[in-house]
Structure 1
Amino acid sequence: MRIDVVSIFPDYLAPLDLSLIGKARRDGLLDIRVHDLRVFTHDRHRTVDDTPYGGGAGMVMKPEPWGEALDALATQGDPRPVLIVPGPGGEPLTQRTARELADREWLVFACGRYEGIDERVYEHAADRMDVRVVSLGDYVLNGGEVAALAIIEAVARLLPGVIGNAASLDEESHEDGLLEYPVYTKPAQWQGRAVPDVLLSGDHGAIARWRREQQLHRTARRRPDLLHASAAADPDDLALVPAGPGDVGELLTLTHACWLTTGIENDTLQIPAQHETYESLAASLQITSTYVVRSHGRLVASARGRLDGDAWEIERVMVAPDLRGRGLGQWLLEQIEAQAPAEATAYSLFTGERSLGPLRMYRRAGYRRAGQGPFGRTVRLRKPRA
């Protein structure tokens, strides 16, 4: 990935040479270039700001140096870059945003100062860049450099090879919409405080359940705004129940919504669920064990299973698109696994090879790749039954 940063204080970006980001630069995984905006001025004072039209306190960054700087960068590469302008008036930085940006080849950061950058710069840049104003939170900083450092670290650590153990990214805060569970290391006893017994038990199922409960409790206590009545995945509020004829209409809507997204991610129209009809879906209830989840009357999730040899074949694990990223998918997977008949010795499923969110969720749950899926651009995953 290439990253360019434009600032009137280029020395502010020196921390990009430290820690894992600095190592990634030295290893050639990141091409980070820092530019001094004042190079693009033409007066002896190297002026980058002026008074605002309409009056008011403070100064505004002039359009001329910014226009020249961004024009110079736009001619240096083929991929259309994303121009990120850190500012309190932008979209909030989330883990989802970081993952979106990590999929791009080239990011350009425009670090504003004073009262901000002349608005015409955004319009000018949009001709050759995808412009995004991104905020770290509901507060104001002196300039965009601190925010640029934070955004670059949030994005760069997601790139292959930057973090030594890529699996460590799977269970972090916000990866499934919840905060991370508490973590412990040796010694088991410290200053009269003990590590929870369940973490010493060796029972991986019990550990997974404990961690899930801790995620919910911590999120409810520290960030209740992240929880949703339909997405907390609390067994006291949600239940997996067999689907009936009365569910077919809503189930068809959910199916098309979910598999349209999968088709776009994987650039394919070969997925049978994309072509499901009311009649074919109603008929499938007779040959598969199909389950639905409702919240406040709304059908929000569904999954189905069938025994195929010694494996419980899990199909169509679906969560309403507006409720994704909040942990409901992981809970749903656990519930459909629990429906497996006694003779099943393994769980099996397939998903799109480019469906990064589902692939992360299945990997966290213990599934591993077991070959190609039943049709184009899908992969088969399998997990032994405990």
Structure 2
Amino acid sequence: MRIDVVTIFPDYLAPLDLSLIGKARADGLVTIGVHDLRDVTTDRHRTVDDTPSGGGAGMVMRADVWGQALDPLLADGGTLAIPTPSGAPLTQRAVEKLAASGGPLVIACGRYEGIDARVAEHYASRDDVTVMEFSLGDYVLNGGEVAALALTEGVVRLLPGVVGNPDSLEEESHAGDGTLEYPVYTRPETWRGLEIPAVLTSGDHGAAAAWRREQSLARTAARRPDILHSLDVDALDPADRRTLASLGYVVPSGAGSPVPVTVRDATPADGDAVAALAALTFPLACPPGTSQEDIDSFVDTHLTPRAMAEHAERATSVLRVAWVGEAAVGYTLSLLPTTVDEPPYAADVAACVTARPAAELSKVYVLPEYMGSGLASLLIADAGRAVRAARVEGEPVAALWLGTNGGNKRAQKAYRRSGFTRAGRRTFRVGETTHSDVVMVLDLTREGV
């Protein structure tokens, strides 16, 4: 590949002889030419600029001088890259595209107030030239040389043979799916009281890979949430979706990118929205064989706007709702005992859930389009934290239990991921039909829950 840089300060580009870029030049993997713009001037002062048309501060670099310098370098076409604060942000995707093109790449380093706009306009009109006006970020430098160094290194390091281990190019920030790289560590294992995360020294390579992926997504969400909008959602596996949900982003069915989600306590004013959500989602979780009449009766009795508003006000109810924008998309309802020693209301549950006080995770529902998005896992974890923070007669809640359909293996797996374990079974009625559930319990006295 050939790269040419045109500048009025050729010595600024001397670092291109150093490190991997210098070695790549010496090995013939890339040819880099640095050209002094003043060499094409014809006056004795070697003038490259003039005053701005229409007035204004500073000086503008002349189009005729740039044309003389660029014409021979772009005689066979190529890409003309112009660093400018008004350009599009330089991205890894753009760098990858340039490296894959094979060149030639010509970088025009402006100074002063910039290069006469007709230079970019002229070369953009040619079918064999692509003009790329780019910026390193939302700040201003004295000239384009720093950006030229950055672009050159970014492109050259992607060329075959330049980096010794090509796998390292796939695991760094902005590579692959574009997310930021996970934190890295090396010996010593303890430094100034800080430890390397245990998972990285465990010898479990699968667990280490999963941790790194979680950290990569967490860093991206915290530092560059804009990158999440460009993720290929079809490439996100269930673990990715759960991680994103824990970070406040979910991917509903049909969405092109993750969307922010918030979870908060319900207020009485949310009664209508939560009741509508409950009416939509309750039938989806009913055991097979439940009649429509029984479903309608339960909804009309227990899931009304008034009932939800009362739960929002009641001290023994913990009603948490997930929102995407102004839309309620999921909720949990946990019921606290009124006294420390009060057992669960059903004898078969009280027999297998012995910790006191014990709260019931009565409902965990999400809209159909949010199933598989990680939202349910987020809500389950959130419910655990909310109940753990609650008090019954001044005492912390010791256990959170729930009943789930014995045939719903997917739900049971989700609860186990959240720390629930199987404790026994219970029977209950919906209308005239008796059903049997698996009882699962979360130990809230355990650290990390």
Query: TM-score under structure 2 normalisation?
Result: 0.52
Residue equivalent to 1:152? 152
Residue equivalent to 1:11? 11
1:95 and 2:102 matched: no
The 8 Å contact of residues 229 and 295 in structure 1, kept in 2 or not, is answered as no
The 8 Å contact of residues 82 and 107 in structure 1, kept in 2 or not, is answered as yes
| Residue aligned with 1:20, SS | helix
Length, aligned pairs only = 251
The range that moved more, 187-196 or 10-19, is 187-196
Task: Write the distance in 2 (CA, Å) between the matches of 1:9 and 1:36.
Answer: 7
| Residue aligned with 1:55, SS | coil
The 8 Å contact of residues 67 and 125 in structure 1, kept in 2 or not, is answered as no
The 8 Å contact of residues 6 and 34 in structure 2, kept in 1 or not, is answered as yes
Write the letter of the residue equivalent to 1:83: L
Task: Write the distance in 2 (CA, Å) between the matches of 1:112 and 1:42.
Answer: 19
Residue equivalent to 1:174? 174
1:85 and 2:92 matched: no
CA shift digits 1:259-285 (9 cap, x unpaired):
xxxxxxxxxxxxxxxxxxxxxxxxxxx
Residue equivalent to 2:56? 56
Residue equivalent to 1:114? 112
| Cα shift at 1:52 | 0.8
Residue equivalent to 1:317? none
Task: Write the distance in 2 (CA, Å) between the matches of 1:298 and 1:123.
Answer: 47
| Cα shift at 1:163 | 0.6
The range that moved more, 127-136 or 221-230, is 221-230
Write the letter of the residue equivalent to 1:122: A
Write the letter of the residue equivalent to 1:30: V
Deviation >6 Å, runs of 4+: 238-241, 298-301
| Residue aligned with 1:138, SS | coil
Task: Write the distance in 2 (CA, Å) between the matches of 1:229 and 1:165.
Answer: 27
Residue equivalent to 2:195? 194
Residue equivalent to 1:235? 242
Task: Write the distance in 1 (CA, Å) between the matches of 2:135 and 2:56.
Answer: 23
Segments of structure 2 that go 5 or more residues without pairing to the other structure are 256-365, 374-449
Task: Write the distance in 1 (CA, Å) between the matches of 2:42 and 2:129.
Answer: 25
Write the letter of the residue equivalent to 1:95: Q
1:203 and 2:200 matched: no
Segments of structure 1 that go 5 or more residues without pairing to the other structure are 242-246, 252-293, 302-386
Query: TM-score under structure 1 normalisation?
Result: 0.60
Q: 1:52 to 1:228 in 2, by over 3 A?
A: closer
Q: 1:295 to 1:203 in 2, by over 3 A?
A: farther
| Residue aligned with 2:132, SS | strand
Residue equivalent to 1:38? 38
CA shift digits 1:81-136 (9 cap, x unpaired):
10000011111111111101111221000001111111111122232521110110
Task: Write the distance in 1 (CA, Å) between the matches of 2:146 and 2:230.
Answer: 35
| Residue aligned with 2:86, SS | strand
CA shift digits 1:272-321 (9 cap, x unpaired):
xxxxxxxxxxxxxxxxxxxxxx99949999xxxxxxxxxxxxxxxxxxxx
Task: Write the distance in 1 (CA, Å) between the matches of 2:191 and 2:105.
Answer: 45
Task: Write the distance in 2 (CA, Å) between the matches of 1:39 and 1:81.
Answer: 22
Task: Write the distance in 1 (CA, Å) between the matches of 2:162 and 2:370.
Answer: 42
Write the letter of the residue equivalent to 1:7: T
Task: Write the distance in 2 (CA, Å) between the matches of 1:300 and 1:36.
Answer: 58
Task: Write the distance in 2 (CA, Å) between the matches of 1:186 and 1:177.
Answer: 28
The 8 Å contact of residues 173 and 180 in structure 1, kept in 2 or not, is answered as yes
Bigger relative contact order, structure 1 or 2, given CA contacts below 8 A and separation 6+? 1
Task: Write the distance in 2 (CA, Å) between the matches of 1:155 and 1:214.
Answer: 27
Write the letter of the residue equivalent to 1:96: R
Task: Write the distance in 1 (CA, Å) between the matches of 2:115 and 2:181.
Answer: 37
Task: Write the distance in 1 (CA, Å) between the matches of 2:367 and 2:66.
Answer: 50
Task: Write the distance in 1 (CA, Å) between the matches of 2:18 and 2:54.
Answer: 43
| Residue aligned with 2:219, SS | helix
Task: Write the distance in 2 (CA, Å) between the matches of 1:234 and 1:167.
Answer: 25
The 8 Å contact of residues 88 and 133 in structure 2, kept in 1 or not, is answered as yes
Write the letter of the residue equivalent to 2:33: R
Write the letter of the residue equivalent to 1:113: R
% identical aligned pairs: 63
Q: 1:228 to 1:110 in 2, by over 3 A?
A: closer
The 8 Å contact of residues 67 and 124 in structure 1, kept in 2 or not, is answered as no
Task: Write the distance in 2 (CA, Å) between the matches of 1:38 and 1:229.
Answer: 42
Bigger CA radius of gyration: 2
Write the letter of the residue equivalent to 1:52: P
